[in-house]
Copies of this chain bind each other. A is one copy, B any other.
């Protein structure tokens, strides 16, 4: 018996999701490099590779170290490394596997170059482009000049450009993921052309998120997509129309611990169990509540404290203290990060899987 609350993964649905995205990449003749942040489980990364992915993406050196230790041999750290000790760690990995790291500033590139030179290694780098998300990434207008400056630095090989934008159009969240994907792809393809015209041999033009992947994959000049969430899916992606709720491969199983009023049940998972980064009622999705309660479409997961989930239900609902409920969270990636292990539901039975790259912050 598994004690609640716990993360439950439906292997058959997960494999379907993996196949579907692999088919999108194959159909468009581009590479798929899934972001492992969603599952953080090496065995699932291997399933993605077995289905045709060319490598994986991670955000932190520590995640790359876990994945390498479990036999993954092609990793892109899609995050600017600016601290010597972390660059050293990435260089250690680069001795054993194919590694690409990110850069988004000249000062960062100089640091990478300096540490790589000291180690007598050459580091493959991709330049991150800000296409509207306003986080890391060089400004679009400054990208060609920075690419040229990086090209001049020793011990770095500028192999590509990449961006992450998500479902944004004109800088604002959108439900029109087709238009968002097309715009993202066209921005990046044009920029790649400009950089190549400046004399730089650029191999990879890497883009995309789960909701935009299908559309950005069709843009001429794009060579790679990096979706993450698709492996499980979640309530957010279902609202984007990527898949149905029934196709979500992961949920959290909770127990009803109290029904203090006819229209309110309390479950044993709150903000320590479900991520709160995708809040209800925010644009563009305007999700109602913190998750979808399977089998109870009228239930609203209204509030959470750390260990309590407050779910509003119809007074007539047949839910009693002690009952288990399955809840599909708004955001599965950050929810997975809250769990030390997952229960994998396979044809052969249940298997407990450690989430080996969970909580890897550095």
Mark A residues whose CB is within 8 Å of B: 1, 3-6, 37, 59-60, 62, 79-83, 85-86, 104-105, 107-108, 111, 130, 134-139, 255-261, 264, 266, 268-269, 271-273, 275-277, 279, 303-308, 310, 320-322, 333-334, 337-340, 359, 361-362
Contact = CB atoms under 8 A, between A and B. Distances in A.
13 contacts: A6-B361, A37-B306, A59-B307, A135-B258, A135-B266, A271-B275, A272-B361, A273-B361, A276-B276, A276-B277, A276-B279, A337-B338, A359-B359
A136 B359 contact: no
Contacts of A37: 306-307
A306 B277 contact: yes
A86 B334 CA distance: 27
B258 A85 contact: no
Given A60-B307, A136-B258, A257-B136, A271 B264 contact: no
A210 to B, nearest CB: 14
A51 B89 CA distance: 43
A107 B322 CA distance: 9
Contacts of A137: 258, 260
Contact of A135 (B81, B310, B337): B310
Nearest to A277: B271
Nearest to A266: B136
A83 B255 contact: yes
B272 A139 contact: no
